[in-house]
Amino acid sequence: MKRIDLDDLPPKLAALLAGTEEGEAVVLVQDGVVVGRLVGGPHEPPAPDPALEPPSEEKAKEIFEQFRSMIEDEF
């Protein structure tokens, strides 16, 4: 799933997207040609992304150890 952060968009566009009702479509047009369509859906919290979750303590130790080893090899 692709993700758009509304804080990164111009306020007018963010308001348009945030105000889209369930089932309402927003047509994406470029140079007069329709290039896409976004359809409003129910406001559900997104499923947690495993890539954004903090690593377990064991994984964190492994990452730190690899980092430390790389630094020691460099110097």
What type of residue is 18?
A: A
| CB-based contact 10:16 (threshold 8 Å) | no
pLDDT band at 7 (very low <50, low <70, confident <90, very high): very high
What type of residue is 75?
A: F
pTM confidence score: 0.47
pLDDT band at 55 (very low <50, low <70, confident <90, very high): confident
pLDDT band at 53 (very low <50, low <70, confident <90, very high): confident
| CB-based contact 26:38 (threshold 8 Å) | yes
| CB-based contact 34:26 (threshold 8 Å) | no
